């Protein structure tokens, strides 16, 4: 997975020779070089490598040069294109015609040369041909000798770049289901048409019996297992939480130790199933060593497996965390209960932010009045309008404990390459591991337990499939908030005190679903949500437009919404226009 898809940059120029084209060559190619420099400095793939750009060999003044650029891009694994120009050019002769490529055009705002005129002409051509493109145009006129990228242009260039990289990295990859449908949850019923047509992905599946087969036959790296167990002894078993099971359901110490070994093996096997492991080929298991080319996955767990085998809580938590016994590394995207739609929601935000993602139940709404009635304490600060209790026994990344910090000491979550060993240690110290409740999880297991430190800016999103409509995306920006300790303990004891807790306060706008915290909860489309650090709703809206997925609920400021220019032709109401445009164009890969 190291042959990264690249962004192709197309420097577009007025093709008239004899003075006009010659006077623009340096400026036009300079725009392309400046964008490539920006992307390399500010954007990374999920594995931490700076985003690569491929620039056309020459400026593009006509269809022959456009075709030459297309050939070069095809040979260099280009998956999205950005055209740049400071001047008038020939519109339909110079645009990119590949229907699978996300596209944007930056027209320089200079009065000496009409970059905006080309931008409008080229966008009209794109729209007429059914090839939606994002238009980028600075709000301020720049002087002839000023070739800088202004802040508003940079914001749009980066927003397009982040979303384009996410689209490219999903294309051709797999979602791996380990098991099948969990407890009738609709999201864990993989819809292959959705994955194929909207994401360009395939679905892979293995039965849960594959876990037992690999454990019984020893199809895992024995040396890594010993290293993993030493790490678990140091960081997890020493932080075992109270066993809250009734006496007759408590495992003996010997049995608990067996469960620890089993869940560590499960974790390794889940990872190997997703991405493969060359060590297995050395052991004679060449087929197993290949993996399933999975960029995301999920584990059914409940109920057939967990009725007699350890649950996936430990495995899901560790895979979704930015470190394990092998050190600090990219977090995997792995969904509890094989909720494929929440897994995709996590994947969207992982690819946009390069950070670990939190999987959680959207469990309950607590009004200020209910909190005061139950605890005698008031919610304050960002929590003053009420909170949504996010809690789940499974895929709760340890990154979400809030034990990492920025230079000012504020709790944060980070891309893995910015995480220090000390921060990883603090996340482990903030986490206890409670034996699973065996009334539900009869085979036992261990669940992470922490309380997310606030106030961290976070974004919650969820993809849902609607019969007759197709996929829709929900977005809620807000904060993971602190509450009075007495409030936390009271709410904690009313649910499951062995599970990790995050209290979410969405940002209210006074409109629609964001009139109140209750309305956010009441309009959420499923029992699960994906949560990321930072306010990234605008990036999600851009990504959704690239994938032709309408956004049915969000609290992003309207001036931050960035969609293809064609969306403006579908009505003045942004939400309605989004639905009509997505319906008109349909999924990219159909």
Q: What is the pLDDT of residue 111?
A: 60
Q: What is the pLDDT of residue 493?
A: 86
Q: What is the pLDDT of residue 114?
A: 65
Judged on CB neighbours under 10 Å (0-12, 13-18, 19+), 518 is middle
3-class DSSP state for residue 483?
coil
Complete DSSP assignment for 42-75? H-B-TTSPBPPEEE-SS-B-SHHHHHHHHHHHHH
3-class DSSP state for residue 245?
coil
Residue 1 has pLDDT above 60, yes or no: no
Domain range 6-170, CATH class: alpha beta
Q: What CATH topology corresponds to 174-585? A: L-fucose Isomerase; Chain A, domain 3 (3.20.14)
The whole-angstrom separation of Cα 86 and Cα 530 is 41
Q: What is the pLDDT of residue 146?
A: 73
| Mean pLDDT score across all residues of the chain | 94
pLDDT band at 201 (very low <50, low <70, confident <90, very high): very high
The set of long-range contacts for 285-293, using a CB threshold of 8 Å and a minimum separation of 24, is 285/219, 288/214, 288/219, 292/174, 292/176, 292/204, 292/206, 293/1, 293/172, 293/173, 293/174, 293/204
Residue 485 has pLDDT above 60, yes or no: yes
Of the candidates 73, 74, 77, 9, the residue with the CA atom closest to the CA atom of residue 45: 77
| Catalytic site includes residue 221 | no
Residue 415 has pLDDT above 60, yes or no: yes
The structure tokens listed for 557 are 């400021």
Of the candidates 557, 534, 533, 537, the residue with the CA atom closest to the CA atom of residue 545: 537
Active site residue: 337, 423, 539, 578, which one? 337
Residue 121 has pLDDT above 70, yes or no: yes
Of the candidates 321, 214, 347, the residue with the CA atom closest to the CA atom of residue 277: 214
pLDDT band at 113 (very low <50, low <70, confident <90, very high): low
Q: How do beta strands 551-553 and 470-480 pair?
A: parallel
Q: What is the pLDDT of residue 91?
A: 79
Task: Express each pLDDT in 488-536 by its tens digit.
Answer: 989 988 888 889 999 999 999 999 999 999 999 999 999 999 999 999 9
pLDDT band at 109 (very low <50, low <70, confident <90, very high): confident
Task: Express each pLDDT in 284-294 by its tens digit.
Answer: 999 999 999 99
Residue 182 has pLDDT above 90, yes or no: no
Binding-site residue set for Mn(2+): 337, 361, 528
The structure tokens listed for 48 are 């931490």
Active site residue: 65, 311, 361, 539, which one? 361
Q: What is the pLDDT of residue 431?
A: 96
Q: What is the pLDDT of residue 2?
A: 66
What is the residue extent of each domain of the chain? 6-170, 174-585
Q: What is the pLDDT of residue 112?
A: 63
The percent of residues above 90 in pLDDT, for the chain, comes to 86
Of the candidates 572, 502, 497, the residue with the CA atom closest to the CA atom of residue 533: 502
User: pTM for this one?
Assistant: 0.96
The mean per-residue pLDDT over the stretch 150-164 comes to 97
Of the candidates 135, 101, 139, the residue with the CA atom closest to the CA atom of residue 118: 135
| Helices 340-353 & 151-170 angle (0-180, nearest 10) | 140
The percent of residues above 70 in pLDDT, for the chain, comes to 98
The structure tokens listed for 303 are 């109920």
Place of tokens 């056309």: 56
| Catalytic site includes residue 152 | no
Residue predicted with more confidence, 110 or 584: 584
């Amino acid at each position: 997975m190291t042959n990264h898809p690249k962004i192709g940059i197309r420097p577009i120029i007025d093709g008239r020779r004899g003075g006009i084209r010659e006077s623009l060559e340096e400026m036009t190619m300079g725009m392309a070089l400046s964008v490539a420099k920006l992307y390399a400095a500010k954007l990374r793939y999920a594995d931490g490598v700076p985003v690569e750009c491929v620039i056309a060999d020459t400026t593009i003044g006509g269809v022959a040069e456009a075709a030459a650029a297309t050939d070069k891009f095809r040979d260099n694994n280009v998956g999205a294109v950005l055209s740049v120009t400071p001047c008038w050019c020939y519109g339909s002769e110079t645009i990119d015609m590949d229907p699978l490529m996300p596209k944007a055009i930056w027209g320089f705002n200079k009065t000496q040369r009409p970059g905006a005129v080309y931008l409008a002409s080229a966008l009209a051509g794109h729209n007429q041909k059914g090839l939606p493109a994002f238009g980028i145009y600075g709000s301020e006129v720049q002087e002839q000798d000023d070739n800088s990228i202004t802040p508003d242009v940079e914001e749009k260039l980066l927003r397009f770049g982040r979303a384009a990289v996410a689209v490219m990295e999903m294309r051709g990859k797999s979602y791996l289901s380990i098991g099948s449908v969990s407890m009738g949850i609709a999201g864990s019923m993989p819809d292959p048409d959705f994955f194929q047509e909207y994401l360009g992905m395939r679905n892979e599946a293995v039965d849960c019996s594959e876990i037992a087969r690999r454990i019984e036959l020893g199809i895992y790296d024995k040396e890594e297992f010993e290293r993993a167990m030493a790490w678990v002894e140091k960081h997890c078993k020493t932080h075992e939480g109270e066993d809250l099971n009734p006496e007759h359901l408590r495992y003996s110490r010997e049995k608990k130790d067996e469960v620890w070994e089993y869940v560590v093996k499960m974790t390794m096997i889940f990872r190997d199933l997703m991405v493969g492991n060359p060590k297995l080929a050395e052991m004679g298991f060449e087929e197993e060593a290949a993996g399933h080319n999975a960029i995301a996955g999920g584990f059914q767990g409940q109920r057939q497996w967990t009725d007699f085998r350890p649950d996936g809580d430990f495995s899901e938590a560790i895979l979704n965390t930015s470190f394990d016994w092998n050190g600090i590394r990219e977090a995997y995207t792995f969904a509890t209960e094989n909720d494929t739609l929440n897994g995709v929601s996590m994947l969207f935000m992982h690819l946009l932010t390069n950070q670990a993602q939190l999987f959680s139940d959207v469990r309950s709404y607590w009004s200020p009045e209910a909190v005061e009635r139950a605890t005698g304490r008031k919610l304050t600060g960002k929590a003053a309008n009420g909170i949504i209790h996010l809690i789940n026994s499974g895929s709760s990344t340890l990154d979400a404990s809030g034990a990492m910090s920025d230079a000012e000491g504020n709790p944060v979550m980070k891309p893995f390459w910015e995480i220090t060993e000390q921060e990883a240690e603090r996340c482990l110290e903030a986490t206890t591991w409670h034996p699973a409740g065996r009334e539900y999880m009869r085979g036992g297991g261990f669940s992470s337990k922490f309380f997310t430190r606030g106030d961290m800016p976070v974004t919650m999103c969820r993809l849902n499939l609607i019969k007759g409509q197709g996929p829709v995306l929900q977005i809620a920006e807000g904060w993971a908030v602190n509450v009075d300790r007495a409030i936390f303990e009271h709410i904690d004891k009313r649910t499951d005190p062995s599970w990790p807790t995050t209290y979410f306060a969405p940002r209210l706008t006074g409109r629609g679903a964001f009139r109140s915290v209750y309305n956010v909860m009441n309009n959420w489309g499923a029992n699960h949500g994906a949560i990321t650090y930072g306010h990234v709703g605008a990036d999600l809206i851009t990504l959704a437009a690239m994938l032709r997925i309408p956004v049915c609920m969000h609290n992003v400021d309207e001036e931050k919404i960035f969609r293809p220019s064609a969306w403006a032709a579908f009505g003045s109401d942004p939400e309605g226009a989004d639905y009509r445009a997505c319906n008109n164009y349909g999924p990219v890969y159909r």
